[in-house]
């Protein structure tokens, strides 16, 4: 179950964060001012709002609620208009608001807003039509609601979903429970990304990687009902090579913990180029390569890059991406010790043998195959074979 449940030591702080946030941020809604009003009237108001909110959003309810209250300000006035309602309820509300609250049991609620918040908080990516997924969400809501203020806790989750953790524009930066949010921890785009909510492919409650779209971030939760279509993407790769003692070396960077090729070594990926082999496009590739080296890696690579050339293209199918790679290569030359100087935890020059044995993805092997022959022609040691046979 791992991160899908709140750890025992998380429940209190999550409740506290939700309730404190709610106390300050709750929207002023007409049915919330009920403690000061006549208790029968107040209970009636809450009931009407609850019934309306079952059907539609707060914004829509606000449009109708006041009109309703003008027309039927009390249960009696409504009863006069609709006699059968009175018959059903005997026209009587519990005299005591606390009695009324007791009738509305301190159960969790699980409307669309709450589901979304809980799915994101605990990175629940299971199929929402499956009982195992909804059972988990009920358990999570129950864990949180068992407090002195069950109603407010429920309302805080609903409110958070309606105003902060919204479907299409979640405002994680102002979210009171961001520290406990697994979807946020998984999101590549935030600086404090952590690995303690990693999805497990075999887990029914985790989001399968084929559903995860990096650009959607926390919005990957709750899971969309249909599997996303495989989308087309193009990446522009530069294989930077160098020749030292008649031996070829290729420069690679370790991917940060993104989903695609996470932790694996890849060639340099640059922004889109027009793909042609013109002088202009070569200068473009050169510039972009330098930018990647300078900005992504913070590497002090002041050597020269020459012989930029478009080698060709290849295609690789990831589970959810149909990726086209446009492959360039370019020769790098620098001072005597540059191989050592540019070797860091995340950047390295690979020789032929290392390329074979290190963690390099099939996609990068394909990329390499596009250019390997041409790069080998740059060495004139005819009796040495530099051709690397890689799996296709
Ligand atoms: S951090 Fe973002 S995704 Fe997580 S609960 Fe808050 S708003 Fe929602
Ligand atoms: Zn899981």
pLDDT tens per residue, range 203-217: 889 998 778 888 889
Q: What is the reported pLDDT for 86?
A: 46
Most confident stretch, 23-37, 347-361, 371-385:
347-361
Q: What is the reported pLDDT for 290?
A: 85
pLDDT tens per residue, range 170-225: 999 999 999 999 999 988 777 766 777 877 767 889 998 778 888 889 999 999 87
Q: What is the reported pLDDT for 337?
A: 82
Tell which wins on pLDDT, 374 or 371: 371
- Quote the percentage of the chain above a pLDDT of 90: 32
Residues whose beta carbon lies within 6 Å of some atom of ligand 1: 117, 120-121, 164-165, 170, 172, 175, 177-178, 181, 183-184, 218
Q: What is the reported pLDDT for 97?
A: 44
Closest CA to 253 of 240, 241, 266: 266
Quote the mean pLDDT of the chain. Answer: 81
Residues with Cβ < 8 Å from 377, sequence gap 6 or more? none
Burial 270-287 (b: 16+ CB within 10 A, else e): beebeeeeeeebbebbbe
Inform me whether the pLDDT recorded for 100 exceeds 80: no
pLDDT tens per residue, range 127-180: 999 999 999 999 999 999 876 788 889 889 999 999 999 999 999 999 999 999
Known catalytic residues are 50
Tell which wins on pLDDT, 31 or 141: 141
CA of 114 to the centre of ligand 2 (A): 19
Q: What is the reported pLDDT for 109?
A: 84
User: By three-state DSSP, how is residue 304 classified?
Assistant: strand
Which atom of ligand 1 is found nearest the CA of 116?
Answer: 8
Are β-strands 268-270 and 231-244 bridged in parallel, bridged antiparallel, or unpaired?
antiparallel
CA of 4 to the centre of ligand 2 (A): 6
CA distances from 377 to 190, 349, 367, 380 (A): 44, 19, 17, 7
Residues with Cβ < 8 Å from 378, sequence gap 6 or more? 241, 243, 248, 307, 331
CA distances from 83 to 51, 74, 75, 95 (A): 18, 14, 11, 21
Alpha helices in 56-191 (DSSP H): 58-71, 75-81, 83-89, 97-103, 112-121, 131-145, 150-163, 182-186
The least confident of 92-106, 191-205, 230-244, 324-338 is 92-106
Which atom of ligand 1 is found nearest the CA of 218?
Answer: 3
Inform me whether the pLDDT recorded for 87 exceeds 60: no
Q: What is the mean pLDDT of residues 58-67?
A: 78
CA distances from 310 to 78, 281, 366, 390, 392 (A): 77, 9, 15, 20, 20
Q: What is the reported pLDDT for 51?
A: 77
Q: What domains does the chain contain, in order, with CATH numbers?
A: 2-220 (1.10.1670.10), 231-376 (3.90.79.10)
Inform me whether the pLDDT recorded for 120 exceeds 60: yes
Tell which wins on pLDDT, 253 or 52: 253
Strand ranges inside the chain, DSSP E: 231-244, 247-254, 265-266, 268-270, 304-317, 321-333, 347-350
Q: What is the reported pLDDT for 91?
A: 53
Q: What is the reported pLDDT for 34?
A: 56
Q: What is the reported pLDDT for 392?
A: 37
Alpha-carbon distance 380 to 84, whole Å?
97
Residues with Cβ < 8 Å from 65, sequence gap 6 or more? 30, 31, 48, 49, 52
Q: What is the reported pLDDT for 386?
A: 39
The count of residues in the chain is 392
Strand ranges inside 245-303, DSSP E: 247-254, 265-266, 268-270
Are β-strands 231-244 and 247-254 bridged in parallel, bridged antiparallel, or unpaired?
antiparallel
Inform me whether the pLDDT recorded for 243 exceeds 60: yes
CA of 171 to the centre of ligand 1 (A): 7
Tell which wins on pLDDT, 97 or 23: 23
| Confidence band of 378 (pLDDT split at 50, 70, 90) | low
Inform me whether the pLDDT recorded for 264 exceeds 90: no
Alpha-carbon distance 44 to 163, whole Å?
26
Q: What is the reported pLDDT for 241?
A: 92
- Quote the percentage of the chain above a pLDDT of 70: 81
Ligand index nearest the alpha carbon of residue 113: 1
Which one of 21, 162, 165 would you pick to mutate in the ligand 1 pocket, going by the greatest count of ligand atoms within 8 A of its CB? 165
Q: What is the mean pLDDT of residues 364-372?
A: 88
């Amino acid at each position: 179950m791992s991160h899908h449940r709140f750890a025992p030591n998380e429940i209190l702080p999550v409740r506290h964060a939700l309730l404190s946030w709610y106390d300050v941020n709750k929207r002023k809604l007409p049915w919330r001012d009920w403690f000061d009003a006549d208790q029968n009237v107040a209970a009636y108001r809450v009931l009407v709002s609850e019934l309306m909110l079952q059907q539609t959003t707060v914004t829509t309810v606000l449009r109708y609620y006041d009109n309703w209250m003008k027309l039927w300000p009390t249960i009696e006035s409504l009863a006069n208009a609709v006699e059968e309602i009175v018959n059903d309820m005997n026209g009587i509300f519990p005299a005591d608001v606390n009695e009324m609250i007791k009738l509305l049991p301190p159960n969790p609620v699980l409307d669309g807003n709450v589901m979304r918040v809980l799915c994101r908080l605990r990175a629940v990516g299971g199929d929402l039509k499956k009982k195992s997924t909804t059972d988990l969400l009920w358990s999570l809501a129950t864990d949180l609601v068992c407090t002195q203020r069950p109603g407010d806790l429920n309302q805080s989750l609903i409110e958070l979903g309606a105003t902060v953790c919204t479907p299409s524009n979640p405002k994680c930066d102002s979210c009171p429970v961001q520290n406990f949010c697994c979807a946020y921890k998984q999101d590549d785009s935030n600086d404090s990304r952590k690995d303690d909510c990693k999805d497990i492919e075999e887990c029914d409650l985790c989001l399968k990687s084929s559903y995860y779209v990096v650009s959607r971030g926390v919005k990957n939760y709750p899971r969309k009902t249909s599997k996303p279509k495989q989308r087309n993407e193009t990446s522009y790769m530069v294989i930077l090579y160098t020749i030292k003692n008649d031996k070829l070396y290729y420069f690679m960077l370790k991917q940060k913990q993104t989903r695609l090729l996470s932790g694996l070594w890849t060639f340099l990926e640059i922004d889109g180029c027009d793909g042609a082999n013109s002088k202009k496009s070569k200068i473009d590739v050169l510039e972009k390569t330098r930018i990647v080296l300078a900005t992504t890696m913070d590497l002090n690579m002041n050597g020269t890059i020459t012989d930029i050339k478009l080698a060709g293209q290849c295609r690789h199918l990831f589970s959810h991406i149909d990726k086209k790679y446009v492959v360039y290569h370019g020769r790098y030359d620098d001072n005597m010790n540059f191989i050592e100087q540019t070797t860091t935890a995340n950047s390295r020059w690979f020789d032929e043998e290392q390329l074979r044995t290190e963690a390099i993805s099939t996609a990068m092997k394909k990329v390499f195959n596009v250019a390997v022959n041409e790069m080998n022609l740059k060495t004139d040691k005819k009796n040495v074979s530099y051709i690397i046979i890689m799996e296709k």
